[in-house]
Amino acid sequence: QSVLTQPPSVSGAPGQRVTISCTGSSSNIGAGYDVHWYQQLPGAAPKLLIYGNSNRPSGVPDRFSGSKSGTSASLAITGLQAEDEADYYCQSSDNSVSGSRVFGGGTKLTVL
């Protein structure tokens, strides 16, 4: 299983707000490492959605936001749109192995 824990699935109707959690431990998120989020549309490579806990790369709509607290992080999506239906992954670093990176198990977002 993945080092970071995410819910397998979330869903919401168009226009609604959904959140996806990412729970880690004292060796990764709780150690102060940044959390990053990726969106993977069906059949495509992942795309960086949020970096450094809460920063959006250029071109990412402000409907997407990230936060971090303690050993957890969250991705929030407001004004849900059909095109947001995708898999979402969180990622951080972990000091149990120097220089390693860890991913969450991924969350499938379904737009109802």
Partner 1 sequence: QVTLRESGPALVKPTQILTLTCTFSGFSLSTSGMCVSWIRQPPGKALEWLARIDWDDDKYYTTSLKTRLTISKGTSKNQVVLTMTNMDPVDTATYYCARERTGSIDYWGQGTLVTVSS
Per CB under 8 A, residues contacting partner 1 are: 2, 33-34, 36, 38, 40, 45-48, 51-52, 57, 89, 91-93, 96-106
Nearest by Cα to 78 from 22, 18, 38: 18
Least Cβ distance, residue 16 to partner 1 (angstroms):
25
Nearer to partner 1, 62 or 99 (CB): 99
Nearer to partner 1, 16 or 97 (CB): 97
Least Cβ distance, residue 99 to partner 1 (angstroms):
3
Least Cβ distance, residue 57 to partner 1 (angstroms):
7
Helices and strands in the chain: count of H runs, count of E runs = 0, 9
The vertex-33 CA angle with 11 and 72, nearest 5°, equals 35
**Integer CA distances (angstroms), 16 to 43, 82, 85, in order:** 25, 11, 13
Least Cβ distance, residue 9 to partner 1 (angstroms):
13
Nearer to partner 1, 57 or 79 (CB): 57
